[in-house]
Structure 1
Amino acid sequence: MQTLHQSLVMNRRVQVLARHLASLIPNTQPLQGLDVGCGSGEIALAIQQLRPHTQLKGVDVLVRPQTVIPVEAFDGQTLPYPDNHVDLVLLVDVLHHTHHPQKLLQECTRVAKQAILIKDHTANNPFDELRLRFMDWVGNRSYGVSLPYNYLSSSQWNHLFEELGWSPEIKRTQLHLYPSPFTYIFDGNLHFVARLKPTP
């Protein structure tokens, strides 16, 4: 199943997500970014290829033996950088793997000068939860990734952003991450990308 998931889903996912996230990054000035929970860094590399003025480095709890961008280890809660360290921070399917998403997101707001780019899930009912759990298990179990299945509803996301004083400047759903026929089960409103900026 892991091999099938890699060939049918993961390779497509990297390219589709890179396009969605790159569209949220201006291509008019040099930018420095941090990919939190970057894994091997494949999505960050694909974004850099689409936005050559943007340079990304990564941090992860589990640093893999081979990565395609520079990656440092961190404890999953505190980013080892000073305030306003980078122009933007990426969080791609990371917050639902944490037990305290607010704490990690608050750290991201601390080190980001301009924006935070999030890709994550929304679970508004038990069927959403069931599908997301299955996707997480298939996609992450072989990598030893923590699976607390901590999915938030739409209202919980809005409350979290409001508490931190950052708001979605742009938000998109219907990302079409999966090929047919899987898209009918695993896409829908389960996924979103958003560009957050400080609330005035």
Structure 2
Amino acid sequence: MSSPLAKDKKSFFDKLLIKLHRNTSHSNRIEILSTLFIKEIHDLAVDKEATIRLLDIGCGDMTITNMLAEKGTNISCTGVDIYPNTKNWENYAAFDGKTLPFTDKSYHVVLFSDVLHHDAENLNRLLQEAKRVADFIIIKDHFEYGFFSRSLLQLADIVGNYGYGVSIPKRYFSKERFQAILAKQELQEIKSICPIYLYNHLPLVKYIFKGKYQFVSVIKA
């Protein structure tokens, strides 16, 4: 959910974190996740020839949104986030972080990529809205397994998001809590992908930031 819109003026420390993130993991992470998302989106399509309408909620800098549109077959992408469109991006809309400005079932798929753990306050509302506007929901997020994994994930969030002004969460999903949230919203998980290895290209980091900390859930809305 990295977003250059979140903080207009960046300090030297902010810029250092952004450079570190981009030089070590950003491009590799985007490539892996985009490939995974495209496969899952295409698998959900009933009519393989029809255009799939995708809504990327919390799209940040539109990197993943645009890559899905470019690399996917018959995927039309819209990105929304809480920041004004000062970059004049195409297919981007700002919203209030709670209510999506779209009619019921106007999209086939909604995507949350590393978004929900940043907004515990509006999490249930966002899931309700996603359920309203789409047939399927794809969630990419993190599992924590206690203090150590939580601290590592917070460290990764500091490197990946603090420089942009995105808040660092106090906790992440446990497997049990995530399933309880889905049950509360009457959402049906049809596929779970875990582990996901995002850091195998980094010799030491891959042993610390384990694949089991990353998951994707495909949900019938």
Q: TM-score, normalised by structure 2?
A: 0.83
Which shifted more, 102-111 or 152-161? 102-111
Segments of structure 2 that go 5 or more residues without pairing to the other structure are 1-15
Q: Secondary structure at the match of 1:146?
A: coil
CA 1:66/1:7 → structure 2, altered by over 3 Å: closer, same or farther?
A: farther
Given residue 98 of structure 1, which amino acid in structure 2 is its aligned partner?
D
Determine whether 1:77 maps to 2:95: no
Is the 1:60–1:74 contact (alpha carbons within 8 Å) kept by the matching residues of 2? Answer: yes
CA displacement at 1:148 relative to structure 2: 3.0
Determine whether 1:162 maps to 2:183: yes
Segments of structure 1 that go 5 or more residues without pairing to the other structure are none
**What residue is the counterpart of 1:25 in the other structure?**
41
CA displacement at 1:4 relative to structure 2: 2.2
**What is the CA–CA distance in structure 2 between the aligned matches of 1:169 and 1:85, rounded to whole Å?**
21
Is the 2:141–2:216 contact (alpha carbons within 8 Å) kept by the matching residues of 1? Answer: yes
Determine whether 1:189 maps to 2:205: no
**What residue is the counterpart of 1:120 in the other structure?**
141
CA displacement at 1:150 relative to structure 2: 3.9
**What is the CA–CA distance in structure 1 between the aligned matches of 2:108 and 2:92, rounded to whole Å?**
17
Residue of 100, 108, 114 corresponding to 1:87: 108
CA 1:63/1:145 → structure 2, altered by over 3 Å: closer, same or farther?
A: farther
Aligned structure 1 segments of 4 or more residues deviating by more than 6 angstroms: none
**What is the CA–CA distance in structure 2 between the aligned matches of 1:148 and 1:131, rounded to whole Å?**
12
Is the 2:110–2:130 contact (alpha carbons within 8 Å) kept by the matching residues of 1? Answer: yes
CA displacement at 1:63 relative to structure 2: 4.1
Give me the identity figure in percent. Answer: 32
**What residue is the counterpart of 1:5 in the other structure?**
21
**What is the CA–CA distance in structure 2 between the aligned matches of 1:140 and 1:64, rounded to whole Å?**
19
Determine whether 1:130 maps to 2:146: no
Q: Secondary structure at the match of 2:23?
A: helix
CA displacement at 1:193 relative to structure 2: 0.9
**What is the CA–CA distance in structure 2 between the aligned matches of 1:4 and 1:124, rounded to whole Å?**
26
RMSD: 1.7
Which shifted more, 83-92 or 99-108? 99-108
Aligned length: 197
**What is the CA–CA distance in structure 2 between the aligned matches of 1:74 and 1:84, rounded to whole Å?**
18
CA displacement at 1:188 relative to structure 2: 2.5
Q: Secondary structure at the match of 1:189?
A: helix
**What residue is the counterpart of 1:39 in the other structure?**
60
Residue of 92, 97, 100 corresponding to 2:118: 97
CA displacement at 1:170 relative to structure 2: 1.4
